[in-house]
C-alpha cells in the first residue's frame, strides 16, 4: 500500500512537470505553424523566464507577481529580437531549413553564455507561489506549486484556444499555418505574424520557466534539456498541434517520473531522449497526428 | 594585334587556378609557422588539426551528402572513452586501443544510422542531437567505467609499441600526416563514383533514386565515413591531452565544429582544414575564458550563416558549381 501511494505521488509530480513540457511544446508549435521553422533556441526562453524573475525578485526586490510579469514581457521582447536579428535575415535569404536550425541553436548557445557571464553559474530557485503545507488526499501530498502549475497551464491552454479561435490575429496565424502564400494573398501580414509567433512562443517558454523553477532550480544551462523535452512533447502530439503537444508533455512527464522511480534520477534525460527516438523511428507523426 | 597576342599566350592559364591553391598555402603557412616557432602555437595547431579530422568527416556527411547531424560528437565520445578505458584500466597499447575505439564507434554508427537516416529535416536534426546528448548523459552517469564528471586521466600519448610521440613537434608532424591522408581521401571520394552518388543524393533524393542510386545505402556509407573520422578525432584527442571528461565531447564540440565547417567552406576539400586552423587561432585572445569562446563561436556562426554561407574556401574553389541556397525553409 505504501508502494502504491509512493508511485501515485511520483505520478502527480510527473504530471506537474508534464504540464510545463506541454507549454514548451506549444511554444514550438506556435512558431512552426506560423513559419515552418523549428526554433532550437526555445530553451533559452525557459531558462531566462526563471533567471530574470529571480534577478528582479532578489536584486530589485519586486514582489513575485510583478517580477514574473516583467520577466515574461522581457523574454517576449527577446523572442522578437531573436526573430529580427537571427531568423529574419535568413528567412529573407531563403536559407535552408538546416541552416535555420543551426542558426537558432547557435542563438541558444549565445544567450546561454551571455547569461553565464552576466549571472554566473550558480543555480537559482524561486520561492513557491503559495507557502502553505501541501494538501493531503489520503496518503498523497499535493503541493500548492503543483496546483499553480496545473492551473496556470490549463488557463494558458484555454486562453490560447480562445485566441486562435476568437480573435482576428489568432485566425490570421492559423491561416498562415494552413497556407502561407494564400494567407499573404488575403492580405495577412505574414512577416508580422512571424514576429508575433516568436513573441508568443517566448512568453510561453518564460511562463513555463517561472512555473517550474520553484520546484526545481534554474541555471544558465537548463535550457537545452527543457527545449528537448518540449520538442519531444510536440513530436508525441503530432508536430504543429498545440493541444497534442500539451498531451504529449503530460505523457512525457509521466514516463520520466516512472523512469526516475525505476532507473534512478540520473537517467531522467536518457529516458526522455529514448522516448524521442522511439517516436522518431516508429511513429514520427505522433500519437494524434497524421503523417507530415 | 591583341587577338594574336591572346592566342599566343597559354590559353589555359587563369588566375583562378592559382587562387584555388590559396587555402592550401594559407594552411601550410600556419602549420609551418607553428612548427618553426614552437611553444603555445604548436598546442593550438595540434588541437586545430584534431578538430580538422572531425570536421573532414562532418563535411563528407553534410557538405557532400547534404544531410544533417548534430550528434557526431557521440562517435568521438565512444571512441575516445574506449581508447581511454582500454589504455588505462586494461593497459593496452595506444594503437590497438584506437583501432578498437574507432571500430566500436563505426559499429554504433551502423546500428544507429540505419533507423536514424530514414528521418528527414527537423526530425533528423533532433534525432541526431538526441544521440549526441544520450551519449553525453551516459558518459556522465556510467561512472564505474567513465568516472563521471571526474574524467579519466593518465592516458598514454600516441605511439606505436614502445615508441611514443611525446614532443609537441612530433605530435604536430604526426597529425599533419593524418590530416593530409584524410584530406586526400576526401578529395578522392569527391571525384569518385562514391562521391558522385553522395552529390546526387545531396541534389535530390528522388532524382538520385531515379538514376539508380541506392539512396539509403549511400547515406549510411556517408554517415559511417563521417563517424569514423569523428571517432578517430575523439581517440586522437584523448591521447594527445592525456585526459578525458564528458565536457570534452559536449555540445561545445558540436557548435565549434560547425563554426569551423562554415568558416572554411562547407562542401569543399580544403574547407575543413582551413576552417579548423582559422577558428582555433582567431579567438586566441579569449583563450583564458571558455565562456567567451563559445559566445564568440556562436555569434560568428550566426553571422557566417547569414552573410557568407559558403565560407572562405568556397571563395577560391572554382570547381564547385555555385550551389543554390534555395527552397523554402
Place B289 in a pLDDT band, splitting at 50, 70 and 90.
low
Q: E strands, chain B, where?
A: 152-153, 159-160, 163-164, 243-244
B chain contacts of residue A224, beta-carbon cutoff 8 Å = 133, 251
Q: What share of chain B is helix, strand, coil (3-state, %, to 5)?
A: 75, 0, 25
Asked if residue A116 has pLDDT above 50, the reply is yes
Residue B207 cell numbers, joined: 532524382
Inter-chain contact B305–A109, Cβ cutoff 8 Å?
A: no
Distance CA A172, CA B317 (A): 45
* Residues of A (119-158) whose Cβ lies below 8 Å from B: none
Q: What single string gives the DSSP state of each residue in chain A?
A: -HHHHHHHHHHHHHHHHHHHHHHHHHHHHHHHHHHS---TTHHHHHHHHHHHHHHHHHTS---HHHHHHHHHHHHHHHHHHHIIIIIHHHHHTT--HHHHHHHHHHHHHHHHHHHHHHH-S--B----SS-SPPEEETTEEE-HHHHHHHHHHHHHHHHHHHHHHHSHHHHHHHHHHH-HHHHHHTT--HHHHHHHHHHHHHHHHHHHHHHHGGGS-B-TT-HHHHHHHHHHHHHHT-TT-HHHHHHHHHHHHHHHHHHHHHH-GGGHHHHHHHHHHHHHHH-TTTTTPPP-
CA neighbor of A260 nearest in space, from A272, A249, A248: A272
Question: Given CB atoms, is A267 within the 8 Å cutoff of chain B?
Answer: yes
Place B108 in a pLDDT band, splitting at 50, 70 and 90.
very high
Distance CA B197, CA B211 (A): 10
Asked if residue B106 has pLDDT above 70, the reply is yes
Question: What's A2-132+144-282's CATH class?
Answer: mainly alpha
Asked if residue B286 has pLDDT above 60, the reply is no
Question: Given CB atoms, is A269 within the 8 Å cutoff of chain B?
Answer: yes
Q: What single string gives the DSSP state of each residue in B177-224?
A: HHHHHHHHHHHHHHHSHHHHHHHHHHH-HHHHHHTT--HHHHHHHHHH
Distance CA B320, CA B318 (A): 6
CA neighbor of A83 nearest in space, from A193, A176, A189: A193
Question: Given CB atoms, is A98 within the 8 Å cutoff of chain B?
Answer: yes
Asked if residue A137 has pLDDT above 80, the reply is no
CB-nearest partner of A277 from B127, B258, B301: B127
Asked if residue A155 has pLDDT above 90, the reply is yes
Q: What is the mean pLDDT of residues B274-287?
A: 74
Q: A168 Cβ partners below 8 Å, 6+ apart? A: none
Query: Mean pLDDT, chain B, as a whole number?
Result: 82
DSSP-based three-state secondary structure for B244: strand
Q: In chain A, what percentage of residues exceed pLDDT 90?
A: 29
Length of chain A in terms of residues written: 292
Asked if residue B319 has pLDDT above 60, the reply is no
Measured distance between the N- and C-terminal CA atoms of chain A, rounded to whole angstroms = 45
Asked if residue B229 has pLDDT above 90, the reply is yes
Place B140 in a pLDDT band, splitting at 50, 70 and 90.
confident
pLDDT of residue A111: 92
Distance CA A49, CA A31 (A): 18
| Assembly ipTM | 0.82
Domain covering B35-316 assigned CATH 2.60.40 in the classification: no
Query: Mean pLDDT, chain A, as a whole number?
Result: 86
pLDDT of residue A175: 86
The residue of chain B nearest to residue A235, with distances taken between CA atoms, is: B123
Contact B76, B249 (CB under 8 A): yes
Contact B92, B98 (CB under 8 A): no
pLDDT of residue A101: 86
A128 vs A65, A111, A152, B112, CA distance in Å? 12, 26, 14, 43
For A194-238, how does the pLDDT look when each residue is reduced to its tens digit (9 = 90+)? 899 999 999 999 999 999 988 888 888 888 888 888 988 988 888
Q: What is the mean pLDDT of residues B42-70?
A: 90
pLDDT of residue B16: 61
DSSP-based three-state secondary structure for B164: strand
Distance CA A207, CA A209 (A): 5
Mutant choice from B117, B302, B324 vs A, greatest count of A C-beta within 10 A: B302
Q: Which residue has the cell 488575403?
A: A186
Helices vs. strands in chain B: H and E counts, helices first: 16, 4
Residue A125 cell numbers, joined: 530557485
Contact B42, B288 (CB under 8 A): no
A114 to chain B, closest Cα gap in Å = 7
Distance CA A89, CA A111 (A): 18
B chain contacts of residue A280, beta-carbon cutoff 8 Å = 116, 119, 123, 126-127, 130
Inter-chain contact B131–A277, Cβ cutoff 8 Å?
A: yes
Inter-chain contact A96–B294, Cβ cutoff 8 Å?
A: no
Look at strands B152-153 and A135-137 and give their pairing: unpaired
Place B304 in a pLDDT band, splitting at 50, 70 and 90.
confident
Phi, psi of A142 (to 5 degrees): -115, 115
B chain contacts of residue A184, beta-carbon cutoff 8 Å = none
pLDDT of residue B11: 52
Residue A12 cell numbers, joined: 502527480
CA neighbor of A241 nearest in space, from A205, A292, A171, A191: A292
Asked if residue B124 has pLDDT above 90, the reply is no
B286 vs A223, B48, B276, B295, CA distance in Å? 25, 16, 16, 10
Among A97-101, A157-161, B18-22, name the one with the lowest average pLDDT. B18-22
Contact B249, B70 (CB under 8 A): no
CA neighbor of B23 nearest in space, from B268, B306, B282: B268
- Name the CA radius of gyration of chain A, rounded: 19
Q: Which residues of B touch A (CB under 8 A)?
A: 68, 70, 115-116, 118-119, 121-123, 125-127, 129-131, 133-134, 137-138, 140-141, 251, 255, 258, 291-292, 294-295, 297-299, 301-302, 305-306, 309, 325-329
Residue B295 cell numbers, joined: 559566445
Amino acid at each position: 500500500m505504501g508502494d502504491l501511494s509512493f508511485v501515485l505521488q511520483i505520478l502527480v509530480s510527473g504530471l506537474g512537470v508534464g504540464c510545463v513540457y506541454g507549454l514548451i511544446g506549444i511554444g514550438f508549435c506556435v512558431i512552426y505553424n506560423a513559419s515552418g521553422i523549428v526554433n532550437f533556441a526555445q530553451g533559452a526562453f525557459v531558462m531566462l523566464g526563471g533567471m530574470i524573475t529571480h534577478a528582479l525578485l532578489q536584486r530589485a526586490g519586486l514582489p513575485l507577481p510583478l517580477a514574473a510579469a516583467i520577466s515574461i514581457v522581457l523574454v517576449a521582447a527577446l523572442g522578437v529580437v531573436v526573430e529580427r536579428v537571427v531568423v529574419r535575415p535568413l528567412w529573407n535569404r531563403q536559407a535552408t531549413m538546416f541552416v535555420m536550425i543551426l542558426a537558432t541553436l547557435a542563438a541558444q548557445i549565445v544567450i546561454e553564455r551571455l547569461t553565464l557571464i552576466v549571472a554566473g553559474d550558480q543555480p537559482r530557485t524561486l520561492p513557491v507561489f503559495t507557502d502553505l503545507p501541501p494538501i493531503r488526499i489520503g496518503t498523497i501530498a499535493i503541493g500548492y506549486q503543483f496546483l499553480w502549475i496545473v492551473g496556470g497551464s490549463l488557463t494558458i491552454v484555454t486562453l490560447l484556444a480562445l485566441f486562435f479561435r476568437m480573435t482576428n490575429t489568432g485566425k490570421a496565424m492559423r491561416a498562415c499555418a494552413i497556407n502561407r502564400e494564400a494567407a499573404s494573398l488575403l492580405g495577412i501580414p505574414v512577416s508580422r505574424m512571424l514576429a508575433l509567433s516568436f513573441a508568443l512562443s517566448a512568453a510561453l517558454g518564460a511562463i513555463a520557466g517561472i512555473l517550474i523553477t520553484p520546484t526545481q532550480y534554474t541555471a544558465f544551462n537548463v535550457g537545452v534539456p527543457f527545449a528537448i523535452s518540449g520538442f519531444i512533447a510536440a513530436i508525441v502530439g503530432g508536430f504543429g498541434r498545440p493541444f497534442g503537444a500539451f498531451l504529449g508533455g503530460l505523457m512525457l512527464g509521466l514516463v520520466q517520473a516512472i523512469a526516475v522511480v525505476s532507473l534512478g534520477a540520473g537517467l531522467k534525460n536518457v529516458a526522455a531522449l529514448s522516448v524521442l527516438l522511439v517516436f522518431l523511428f516508429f511513429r514520427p507523426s505522433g500519437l494524434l497526428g497524421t503523417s507530415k | 594585334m591583341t587577338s594574336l597576342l591572346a592566342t599566343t599566350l597559354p590559353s589555359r592559364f587563369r588566375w583562378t587556378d592559382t587562387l584555388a591553391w590559396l587555402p592550401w598555402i594559407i594552411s601550410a603557412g600556419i602549420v609551418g609557422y607553428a612548427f618553426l616557432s614552437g611553444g603555445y602555437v604548436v598546442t593550438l595547431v595540434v588541437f586545430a588539426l584534431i578538430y580538422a579530422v572531425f570536421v573532414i568527416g562532418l563535411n563528407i556527411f553534410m557538405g557532400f551528402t547534404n544531410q544533417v547531424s548534430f550528434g557526431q560528437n557521440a562517435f568521438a565520445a565512444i571512441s575516445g572513452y574506449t581508447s581511454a578505458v582500454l589504455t588505462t584500466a586494461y593497459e593496452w597499447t595506444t594503437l590497438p586501443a584506437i583501432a578498437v575505439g574507432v571500430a566500436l564507434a563505426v559499429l554504433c554508427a551502423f546500428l544507429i544510422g540505419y533507423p536514424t537516416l530514414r528521418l528527414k529535416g527537423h526530425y533528423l536534426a533532433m534525432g541526431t542531437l538526441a544521440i549526441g546528448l544520450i551519449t553525453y548523459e551516459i558518459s556522465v552517469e556510467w561512472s564505474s567505467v567513465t568516472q563521471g564528471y571526474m574524467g579519466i586521466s593518465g592516458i598514454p600519448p600516441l605511439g606505436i609499441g614502445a615508441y611514443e610521440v611525446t614532443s609537441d613537434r612530433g605530435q604536430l608532424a604526426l597529425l599533419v600526416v593524418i590530416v593530409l591522408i584524410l584530406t586526400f581521401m576526401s578529395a578522392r571520394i569527391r571525384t569518385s563514383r562514391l562521391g558522385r552518388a553522395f552529390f546526387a543524393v545531396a541534389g535530390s533524393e528522388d532524382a538520385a533514386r531515379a538514376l539508380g542510386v541506392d539512396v539509403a545505402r549511400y547515406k549510411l556509407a556517408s554517415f559511417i565515413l563521417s563517424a569514423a573520422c569523428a571517432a578517430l578525432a575523439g581517440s586522437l584527442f584523448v591521447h594527445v591531452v592525456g585526459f578525458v571528461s564528458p565536457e570534452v565531447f559536449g555540445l561545445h564540440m558540436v557548435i565549434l565544429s560547425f563554426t569551423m565547417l562554415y568558416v572554411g567552406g562547407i562542401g569543399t576539400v580544403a574547407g575543413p582544414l582551413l576552417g579548423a586552423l582559422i577558428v582555433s587561432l582567431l579567438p586566441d585572445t579569449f583563450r583564458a575564458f571558455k565562456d567567451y569562446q563559445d559566445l564568440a563561436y556562436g555569434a560568428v556562426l550566426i553571422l557566417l550563416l547569414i552573410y557568407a554561407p559558403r565560407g572562405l574556401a568556397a571563395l577560391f574553389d572554382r570547381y564547385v558549381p555555385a550551389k543554390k541556397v534555395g527552397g523554402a525553409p
